[in-house]
Amino acid sequence: MHELGIANSIFEATLCEAGLHRCMRPTQVTVRIGELTAVDPGALQFCFNALTRDTEFAKLKLKIEVCPRKHRCSACGTEFIVNGYDFRCRRCGEEKTDFVSGDQLELASLEMEQYESVTA
Q: What is the mean pLDDT of residues 89-117?
A: 94
- Asked if the structure places residue 119 within a domain, the reply is no
pLDDT value, residue 98 = 97
Q: What is the mean pLDDT of residues 67-92?
A: 96
| CA pair distance 15, 59, nearest whole angstrom | 14
- Asked if the structure places residue 18 within a domain, the reply is yes
- Asked if the structure places residue 73 within a domain, the reply is yes
Q: What is the mean pLDDT of residues 97-106?
A: 97
Distance of CA 22 to the CA centre of its chain: 25
pLDDT value, residue 22 = 86
Q: Concatenated DSSP letters for 4-16?
A: HHHHHHHHHHHHH
Q: What is the CATH number of the domain that holds 38?
A: 3.30.2320.80
pLDDT value, residue 118 = 58
pLDDT band at 12; cut points 50, 70, 90: very high
Has residue 3 got a pLDDT over 80? yes
Q: What's the domain count of the chain? A: 1
- Contact assessment for residue 2 and residue 99, using Cβ atoms and an 8 Å cutoff: no
Q: What's the order of all strands across the beta sheet hosting 70-73?
A: 79-81, 70-73, 97-101
Query: Which range marks the domain in which residue 65 is found?
Result: 3-114
